[in-house]
Amino acid sequence: MDSLLHDFAFDPRYGRSLAELLAITPPEAPDDFAAFWQQRYQRCMQHSVSPRIEESYRREGFIVHDIYFRSTDGYDIGGWLLEPRSEPVSQAIIVGHGYGGRDKPDDDFGISHTAFYFPCFRGISRSRCSDLSALPRNHVIHDVEDRDRYVIGGCVDDLWLAVSLIEQLYPQVARCIGYMGISFGGGLGALAAPWDQRIKRLHLNVPTFGHQPLRMQLPTVGSASSLQAYLHQHRHVADILAYYDAATAARHAEQPVHVAAALFDPAVAPPGQFAIYNAWKGEKSLFVLDAGHFEYPNRLTQEQALKQQLRMFFKPPADHAQGIPPLA
């Protein structure tokens, strides 16, 4: 770790050792934190999901569906659904993206009998729209003055409704729905899962939105920098951000989680990442990365080791081996 060279104007380790990172606790929560999220989830569950499959094609062992659904607030959510071509589906995993979005789905997880759904959260990539900027620095502050309309809450709606879509398409695997999310998508997973028991297990990779008070203080090249600038001019926004703290939410999460957290990260400060892991209420395991959002000598080796752990973590249960046939 000491050999990592960089030209940032700050220390992406933030002066903390692994032991110090593992000692970080979440901030104090608003009194109605749980009630706010539970009520939002219940409202979202009243929303009908009507998926549209616009095209299907074959690729590298999968049938790929271009799929859309209408989320809350009238946003169309686009994405890809990958089904294995040569084996039945016995579980589904929703895969969330980082703030850079995605231009194609991944297909190298090596997890058998699994359908992978890649939604693009509102305003980003296949879910671009005219009233919401895809630029992280603008997206992350959209409607931040309004607790109920803040865009991050809307993205959590998108994730919950992605689960609803999977339940509708694969009712027989409802007990085996997982979630993987990196960075932006990791933080959304931590915010969403505590209130949605349909999500049975999660992997969070360098998750953001953890420990907002620290996140608003630590220098960064990530989306938090624009929030910091906004907060400097509008101090009351700190009260809104307290409801969007992934570490606070993690205290309510009971599902098993696998977290990959970095010791060095210029975009998502490690104290926030570890705050989420430390606070997680349910069974948890940790994979320590040398760095996140940064090229480093051991990256490929660590990525391969991480993928091997995820193959075991998301291995379909034996009693679901029969599965169901693909959509097409």
Mean pLDDT of 294-318: 94
| Banded pLDDT at 328 (limits 50, 70, 90) | low
- CA-nearest of 75, 228, 230, 212 to 149 is 75
Percentage of residues of the chain with pLDDT beyond 90: 93
Phi, psi values for residue 91, rounded to 5°: -155, 165
Asked if residue 213 lies in contact with residue 247, where contact means CB atoms within 8 angstroms, the answer is no
Q: Beta strand pairing status for 62-70 and 76-84? A: antiparallel
Residue pLDDT, tens place only, 18-76: 999 999 999 999 999 999 999 999 999 999 999 999 999 998 899 999 999 999 999 99
Phi, psi values for residue 232, rounded to 5°: -60, -35
What's 293's DSSP letter? S
Distance CA 26, CA 317 (A): 33
Phi, psi values for residue 23, rounded to 5°: -100, -5
Beta-carbon contacts of residue 294 (< 8 Å; ≥ 6 apart): 4, 6, 12, 264, 265, 266
Look up residue 2 and give its two tokens: 């000491």
Q: Looking at the structure, give the CATH architecture of the domain made up of residues 18-313.
A: 3-Layer(aba) Sandwich (3.40)
